[in-house]
Chains A and B, each alone.
Chain A
Amino acid sequence: MSTLSDLPKLVEEESSYREKETLLSKYQIPIKHFELDYIENCRDAKEIEKIYHVLLSGEEGDYPHLLKAAEERLSHLKPKSRWLRKTCSVINKESLDKDALQELSQDLESWVSNISKHSRELDTRKTDTVKCDAEIRAPKPLENAPSKPKEQRISSTNYSAWDKYDPDTEILKMELDDEKVKKAALEGEKQKEKRKPKKAVSFNRFATEAEAIYVSNREREKGNEFFKSGDYEEALQCYTDSISSKPSVDNLNNRAVTYLKLKKYKLALHDCDRVLTIQRDNLKAHLRKGEALEKLERYEEALGCAEFVIQKDPNNECAQELAGRAREHCEAKLTNTRMKIVEIE
């Protein structure tokens, strides 16, 4: 009869049955390489990674110095290696600084009270109908993707068929097929470009303020993503949608900078002015207005905007550069006019 005390033995026996391949033999690293000198001078990130893994597993024994050396070398050669990833336990609220905790909970509380207001507003305006202009989809069976008709292979003994086989025409055929695929791909791209600006949405049918704000925020976030990846046309579309559902300082400011990127300076100027009517001392709006004015060659006004920003935020490099450029142009103008006076004399 086996008792509980036999359990460790059983486990040992079982492990001896299924002898596992050690990492060392799996990676096939010569044992010579497990040496301080070698590790410190090794330039092969992959090998160091493997060495580190073997040392970390402890299968070959515990070598703290080697492990440390391997870790250092690996963090030098490949800092993003997955073996260097450290797991930390989640930070508890109790272990935070008092200030950080207070800031966090204040931020959260203000958000909760704000969003709860929206939520109550939505609850009071509840409906049971689903409003949508899109039609209900008509059921259609799933089509299978068109499979290519299989070309018949010529069997190796069919000599008469091989006599007719002309490699040159076959190569030509293959090239033509390739060409076709490429053309189709290019056309697909063109269509994609055509389809982009089509999206037309009516955003003015919100029954509640909360809905308008929600949609406005979501569209702005989408716009930010497009902007970041450099798709300015799409970003513009999103910002415009966002503004049409609820204009705010953020989305107007963002559309202004998108217009700047798209070189539509007058429209950018217009958006900046709209922001400034809502919030008179918005620095971003002033700076972007300055940039737009500079491109429209209204240098004196641009200088005014830049100087306003510098006054509020003296370390703003963009504003300083802008001011520098605008000043140069203003001075150039002045010298030009002086030259003229000389010529008349």
Chain B
Amino acid sequence: MWNFAERKSSEMWTSSVLIFQLLWRQNLINRLKSSRMDALQKPQIICHNQKSLDYAIHDVKWIPCSAKFIALGGKSNGAGVVQIYALTGEGVEKKDEFCKKEHFKCGTFDASSLRNRHLATGDFAGRLQVWDLEDNLVPIYKTTEHKSVINAIDGVSGTTSGCGAPEIVTGSRDGNVMVWDVRQKDAPRERLEETVGRLLLGNAYNNEERVIAAGYDNGDIKLFDLKTMRVKWSKCVKNGVVGLQFDRKNIPMNKLVATTLESKIYCFDVRTQHPKKGFAQVTEKAHNSTVWSAKHLPQNREIFMTMGGSGNAMLMEVQLSNETDADGIPYGVAGELTLLQNSTLSDQPITSFDWCADKLGLSVCSAFDQTIRVLITTKLNLY
């Protein structure tokens, strides 16, 4: 009797261990599966191609409606250079280049139509020039109003009709923000006196409305309303603003992302301004270094990529929502930033980045190591 009982209990024990083991294994398999699923679901950043160049690259831009991009910068002998690269099946191929007297600092295609595709550039001497890429002997439009290097340039409503005049805005170290219309040759249309680090155009959703956002070395961010010619809003963040972008140019303004020194990213919901609470904002610390720029995905405004001084790129997603307070006045509710992917591209700061508007996930970036990289980000269609 005694023997039997003991054996039974020991059997019980082994079987329970077995069950436990089975459960545990099942659990493990499930966990493995889910982690692998996560890895598969997450966007991946793939370096499709990279090319080392022999000059300092200041900006890269895709040529709209083509598989080509430009890299602009300056050589060590002081000459400015613009190079045109074409994407082929295997790699990138240099198509054309031209050199000018001064380093080019920044460029944009956004103020010219698809049939022209003229490149507007700002250079170290403060000149704004508009180039026809196929006939680049002399610029088709130029101004010399700025006295010092043009740090930032942006254009609006080149390709989209019904959003007002195609205008270029430039911000320079000499303390001016100027607005230009390529149809008029001489004087700037507007002149706003401030020292500018970064700026951009946005909120151009019909013929009248238009807003300039400017970020400054001292951490100020200002919104200029061009319709009423007033400072619409201003805010001081702790550190100098290095990158600034609206999520879309040709819609009523929705979201503004500013990146600063000391690894801070500020995301403002500029859709709803509450009389007391103002704009809602989210702050995020990332990269452990200067965040050089934030660029929104052209196909999905909730996703943006930030470029860090430590050579990594972070893909972020942000969601905004609205609520109304007790008096029925809506106010923005700051959402949450979610990190989708974090990849190291280089050991040097990545300074410029551009998404291709025609192909989801295709982008190009340049770093201080004088290399341009063509990147492909997968699975963005799932968001």
Contact = CB atoms under 8 A, between A and B. Distances in A.
Nearest to B87: A112
Contacts of A82: 284-286
* Most chain B Cβ neighbours within 10 Å, of A143, A198, A202, A229: A229
A137 B181 contact: yes
Given A108-B87, A122-B117, A86 B330 contact: no
A93 B189 contact: no
A127 B45 CA distance: 38
Interface in A270-327: none
Interface stretch (B21-29, B74-82, B158-166): B158-166
Contacts of B17: none
* Most chain A Cβ neighbours within 10 Å, of B67, B134, B301: B67
Nearest to A116: B67
A131 interface: yes
A135 B165 contact: yes
A222 B251 contact: yes
Interface of A: 80, 82, 85-93, 96, 104-105, 108-109, 111-112, 115-116, 118-119, 122-123, 125-128, 130-145, 181-182, 184-186, 189, 192, 198-203, 205, 207-208, 210-211, 214-215, 217-218, 221-222, 224-226, 228-229, 234
Interface residues of B, number: 90
A80 B284 CA distance: 12
Determine the main DSSP class of B at the interface with A.
Answer: loop
Contacts of B165: 132, 134-137
Interface stretch (B8-16, B101-109, B146-154, B341-349): B341-349
B92 to A, nearest CB: 11
B283 to A, nearest CB: 12
B203 to A, nearest CB: 13
19 contacts: A82-B284, A85-B342, A87-B342, A90-B45, A90-B344, A91-B343, A104-B376, A105-B89, A116-B66, A122-B117, A126-B116, A139-B189, A140-B190, A142-B230, A143-B229, A145-B231, A182-B329, A185-B274, A214-B114
A111 B359 CA distance: 8
Contact of A122 (B114, B274, B345): B114
A90 B314 CA distance: 11
Contacts of B320: 229
Interface in B202-252: 205-207, 224, 226, 228-231, 248, 250-252
Contacts of B373: 90
B50 to A, nearest CB: 9
* Most chain A Cβ neighbours within 10 Å, of B134, B160, B205, B250: B160
A123 B84 CA distance: 15
A215 B224 CA distance: 28
Contact of A85 (B49, B67, B251, B339): B339
Contacts of A198: 206
Given A181-B275, A208-B115, A142 B229 contact: yes
Nearest to A188: B273
B48 A93 contact: yes
A184 B116 CA distance: 44
B53 interface: no
Contacts of A199: 162, 205-206
B64 interface: yes
Given A137-B226, A185-B274, A210 B376 contact: no
B116 A218 contact: no
Given A90-B345, A127-B115, A134 B89 contact: no
B34 interface: no
A143 B159 contact: no
Contacts of A221: 298-300
* Most chain B Cβ neighbours within 10 Å, of A105, A119, A126, A127: A119
Given A108-B87, A132-B165, A214-B358, 9 more contacts: A86-B342, A115-B65, A130-B112, A139-B190, A189-B330, A214-B64, A215-B160, A218-B159, A225-B248
A112 B343 contact: no
